[in-house]
Amino acid sequence: MNLSHQIRYGKADVKVYRTHAEPLTGITPIPESPFRARENTLAAAEIEVVVHGTEFLEAYTEGDNRRVVATDTMKNFIHAVSLRARARALEEWLLEVGSAFLDTYPHMERLTMVGRDLPFPAALVPSTDGDGFEASDRLYSRDRCDYGTARLDLARHPDGSIDITDHESGRAELQLIKITGSAFADFARDEHTTLPERRDRPLYIWLTIGWRYAEAPDAVLAEPARYIASEQVADLAQAVFHEFVSLSIQHLVNEIGMRMLARWPQLAEVSFDAQNRLWDVGAESPDDEAVKTYADPRPPFGHIGLVLRREA
């Protein structure tokens, strides 16, 4: 029997909590965001390494494990490299770990590094001078809302050089509710349509945003001024949602994408994955139509996607 094999293996869900990583500075500010820098006194991420290639084929076909790097070894290796990594941003962290894998294990041909930030913002505590509050220099609180993501595909050439063959950065699981200033009306209607038109409605969305740079080195802080922090993307999306009167979720995500491409000419592509999680009305005040209670919506949910790509 003639067969071809496409194999991959690796280690997922490697959580790394790194103290005193190198600060992220030199970011270009934008009007929509207060983000200027990240101290990285505590940097945390969930990292996955996926190895591709044919060098491990005998482990599948013959049970020959002599060339297999155990996934437990991979976990330990990620921690060892993370200890010395600059880790100013997630993408750079993944590049440092991935490059170290390819340099250390010559029989690894290609790999994919995937990461997600585990945000731990500084807790607000009473200021040392007794006047108001300040960010703690030692206490951090786990933030379980939206977070940055990144993916790098890396390959080693015969001369030993390493290239980024593909990449994507992202901000995942934004959950935003706007109680006025959104509409959905004038849509196609037929005998199956029961949804009423709404000229003004609350709009609750779950949103994941992705982006690719025209030049991959911009993603890994080759020039910090050209790097885009995921916090800036989240802030820009919120600013657009706040000010823009959208006629649909499709209308909204297109406006966010257009603003991103206008704000950051170094981007080649932006993408969106959105869900409509509009709450169901629970009860309404007979005296004031603005006063209502809402309940979580019942599934299924509307699911919207968009990719905006600059044409050459």
Spatial separation of the C-alpha atoms in residues 292 and 286, rounded to whole Å: 10
Please say whether the dihedral angle defined by the alpha carbons of residues 194, 200, 205 and 207, taken in this order, is positive or negative. Answer: positive
User: Of residues 11, 112, 149, 178, which has the active-site annotation?
Assistant: 11
Confirm if 112 and 164 have CB atoms less than 8 A apart: no
Spatial separation of the C-alpha atoms in residues 240 and 52, rounded to whole Å: 40
Residue 65 is given by DSSP the state -
User: 277 φ, ψ to 5°?
Assistant: -110, 35
User: Of residues 28, 41, 71, 208, which has the active-site annotation?
Assistant: 71
Which H or E element spans position 93?
Answer: helix 90-104
Which tokens hold the place of 103? 């340099």
46 contact partners, CB below 8 Å, separation of at least 6: 13, 14, 15, 16, 115, 116, 118
180 catalytic per annotation? no
Please say whether the dihedral angle defined by the alpha carbons of residues 10, 16, 21 and 27, taken in this order, is positive or negative. Answer: positive
11 catalytic per annotation? yes
Beta strands in the chain, from DSSP E residues, in sequence order: 8-19, 42-52, 110-117, 122-126, 133-140, 147-156, 162-184, 198-213, 267-276, 280-284, 292-295, 302-309
Residue type, 263: R
Spatial separation of the C-alpha atoms in residues 14 and 9, rounded to whole Å: 14
Tell me the catalytic residues. Answer: 11, 71
